[in-house]
Structure 1
Amino acid sequence: MDISQLEAFIAVYQSLNFTKAAEFLHISQSAVTARIKALEITIGKTLFMRDNRNVSLTQAGMAFLPYAERMLRLFEESKLTVSEQFENYIVISGPGAVWHYRYLDDILAFRRNHPDTALKIFSYIDSSYMVRDLLLDGTVHIAVRYDPPDHPKVSKMLLFEDEFVLVSAQKNLRVSRLDFFSQRYIHVGFSFPEWFSEMVGPGYIPTMQIDHSGIIMTLIMRGEAFGFLTKSAARSFLDEQKLFLVECDFPMPEINKIQAYASFLTEKHDNPSVQLGLELLGVK
């Protein structure tokens, strides 16, 4: 098994077409076919079902896919790690709103103070996947996550506390419980904290859910909706009176504060990339 075979496998999976995969890789179709066959011989399984019209992954191909993606990702990261262009290389991950609204100035300052350090930031990737796969296999040095689960190989350090606030671009807006079932309400993310479930009751399905804070912010700012944002994301807009706190005409349950942690492999604590990442995040 070599990198060219993995690249061919991913290209065929993404295009579901050997000709298009060959065009993407700038090689002949016969070369793509040869690489896939060689990979299937190495794996001992057929990875694609093919006929004159369709290409699709077999069960073995679907099982192999995440490993192929991870091996390619690790290969790309290894090239950067051993590169002589930079003294250090950091990969960190976390929700987009964290970087945009809390650490943007820190990122700019870090780049000025460490011109010989390359920085890669992942955002809007499933946080469970980020810890379970990217952090554990070493692709990511530090993962920022709200209330991360415990893991025997992972250490975590508290970064900050935050809380959710209900906001709208409309001043003096007052909503009822039924408004949370209307098209006016947009829900952040795809899960419901315990306090929210208590408020809306069992079986609740919002009319819209989005896991991208920038999109939600835009919709709320345009006056199209109201919704919960983290206080750190909403603070400057509240101060400038571009957003306003929303009042409820019913008793709201207590909204628990959320805690953001920097997670990293315990055995890598003294690694320069981890230490530099913690410096960027203000951990001393």
Structure 2
Amino acid sequence: MYIDHIKTFLEVASTGSFLAAADSLCVTQSTVSARIKALEDYLNRTLFVRKRSGAELTSGGRLFHPHALTVVRAWERARQAVALPEDLTAIVNLGVQLNHWEHIAAPWLVWMDDNAPDVATKIISEYSDSLMRQVRDGTLELAVLYEPQHCAGVVIEPFVTEKLLMVSTSPRQVEAGQVPGYVFVDWGEAFRTQHSLAFPGTSAHRLTVRLGTVGLEHILRHGGSGYFLEKSVQPLIDEGRLYLIEEAPVFERPLFLVYQQDMEEEGVLQTALCGLWEVLRNPPTLS
């Protein structure tokens, strides 16, 4: 089987680098080179031109790319389908950005269990770049993530735009420079840019985390401030445990639905999408 070789081809095409592809696939660069060479020998066509700036697809590589996507996605679906128990009719794999397990992933599982009991569900929670790669490669049919990357065979739809509020465990004003107890939650590249423009001179932070829940738990235990999702902190503001820093700018983070285009008309994907929209409109109560 050349599945691993084709996956390697797709990773090199995506990253534009044999080295970056090796890091992403957790293999050596020589393994990546060997797989690409074997694939080129099998197809009797050069797929990449290696330059000092990276690896670029040849005309043959560009022609092969959509077929490579189809092969990998079909293989992943077949592998999962044959493993299904007889009482289940389909499987859907959902990926959710790490900061949204509580608000999206868990309620969606409840909805699917109530409304599609004959569908097997698998859900993973990772960072957006990893989820995007898995949708592209076919191991995920559907994902909810930040900053999607446009690629062949993938549909991207706006899902919801969220607000990020600066809150503190004690009343305070916006301050210039480094603020004791401030936790920088890395909400992605767009947020980093907006934050730097709003607060120049604060490019380095004493404490940086990528999970909002970790940062929020830290300031609740030890005191401090930071930017967090409005829906996470509003109940705590209402309870008097956190204070909104009203002079601080409010940032927005758009969240997207990303799914495989060739599954767009399939019932199981439509059911999963329906569940996500329902969770957004009316989150079920978790017991």
Counterparts of 2:244 and 2:33, CA distance in 1: 47
Instruction: Name which one, 1 or 2, has greater alpha-carbon Rg.
Output: 1
Is the Cα contact below 8 Å between 2:104 and 2:276 reproduced in 1? no
Is the Cα contact below 8 Å between 2:166 and 2:250 reproduced in 1? no
For residues 169 and 150 of structure 1, do their structure 2 counterparts lie closer, same or farther at Cα, with a shift above 3 Å needed?
A: same
Question: Which whole-Å deviations, capped at 9, do the CAs of 1:260-279 have from their partners, x for residues lacking one?
Answer: 11111222201233212201
Deviating more after overlay: 223-232 vs 95-104? 95-104
Counterparts of 1:177 and 1:109, CA distance in 2: 45
For residues 176 and 266 of structure 1, do their structure 2 counterparts lie closer, same or farther at Cα, with a shift above 3 Å needed?
A: same
For residues 263 and 241 of structure 1, do their structure 2 counterparts lie closer, same or farther at Cα, with a shift above 3 Å needed?
A: same
Residue type of the partner of 1:187?
A: F
Look up the match of 2:234.
Answer: 235
For residues 58 and 137 of structure 1, do their structure 2 counterparts lie closer, same or farther at Cα, with a shift above 3 Å needed?
A: closer
Q: Is 1:269 aligned to 2:270, yes or no?
A: no
Residue type of the partner of 2:227?
A: F
Q: Is 1:120 aligned to 2:90, yes or no?
A: no
Is the Cα contact below 8 Å between 1:185 and 1:227 reproduced in 2? yes
Deviating more after overlay: 75-84 vs 236-245? 75-84
Residue type of the partner of 1:197?
A: S
Look up the match of 1:164.
Answer: 164
Matches within 5 A, 1:101-180: 101-102=103-104, 104-123=106-125, 125-131=126-132, 133-170=133-170, 172-178=171-177
Counterparts of 2:264 and 2:73, CA distance in 1: 22
Matches within 5 A, 1:74-93: 78-82=78-82, 83=84, 84-93=86-95
Residue type of the partner of 2:254?
A: Q
Look up the match of 1:13.
Answer: none
- How far residue 141 of structure 1 moved from its aligned partner, in angstroms, is 0.8
Q: Is 1:186 aligned to 2:183, yes or no?
A: yes
Look up the match of 1:29.
Answer: none
Counterparts of 2:89 and 2:101, CA distance in 1: 23
Residue type of the partner of 2:206?
A: T
Counterparts of 1:153 and 1:58, CA distance in 2: 28
Question: Which whole-Å deviations, capped at 9, do the CAs of 1:221-275 have from their partners, x for residues lacking one?
Answer: 2143211011122233223333221245xxx4x5442221111122220123321
Name structure 2 gaps, 5 residues minimum.
Answer: 5-25, 36-70, 282-287
SS of corresponding position for 1:270: coil
Residue type of the partner of 1:61?
A: T
Task: Give the aligned length.
Answer: 221
Look up the match of 2:29.
Answer: 59
Is the Cα contact below 8 Å between 1:186 and 1:225 reproduced in 2? yes
For residues 58 and 279 of structure 1, do their structure 2 counterparts lie closer, same or farther at Cα, with a shift above 3 Å needed?
A: closer
Counterparts of 2:224 and 2:73, CA distance in 1: 39
The CA RMSD measured in Å over matched residues stands at 3.5
- Residue among 78, 96, 99 paired with 1:97: 99
TM-score if structure 2 supplies the norm length? 0.64
Counterparts of 2:73 and 2:185, CA distance in 1: 29
Look up the match of 1:48.
Answer: none
For residues 225 and 153 of structure 1, do their structure 2 counterparts lie closer, same or farther at Cα, with a shift above 3 Å needed?
A: same
For residues 208 and 148 of structure 1, do their structure 2 counterparts lie closer, same or farther at Cα, with a shift above 3 Å needed?
A: same
For residues 242 and 75 of structure 1, do their structure 2 counterparts lie closer, same or farther at Cα, with a shift above 3 Å needed?
A: farther
Residue type of the partner of 1:242?
A: R
Is the Cα contact below 8 Å between 2:167 and 2:227 reproduced in 1? yes
Counterparts of 2:136 and 2:192, CA distance in 1: 26
Is the Cα contact below 8 Å between 2:95 and 2:124 reproduced in 1? yes
- How far residue 211 of structure 1 moved from its aligned partner, in angstroms, is 1.2
Counterparts of 1:160 and 1:95, CA distance in 2: 13
Counterparts of 1:120 and 1:165, CA distance in 2: 32
SS of corresponding position for 2:182: coil
- How far residue 219 of structure 1 moved from its aligned partner, in angstroms, is 0.6
Counterparts of 1:165 and 1:126, CA distance in 2: 21
Is the Cα contact below 8 Å between 2:72 and 2:137 reproduced in 1? no
Is the Cα contact below 8 Å between 2:88 and 2:119 reproduced in 1? yes
Look up the match of 2:22.
Answer: none
Is the Cα contact below 8 Å between 1:168 and 1:223 reproduced in 2? no
Deviating more after overlay: 148-157 vs 215-224? 148-157
Residue type of the partner of 1:60?
A: S
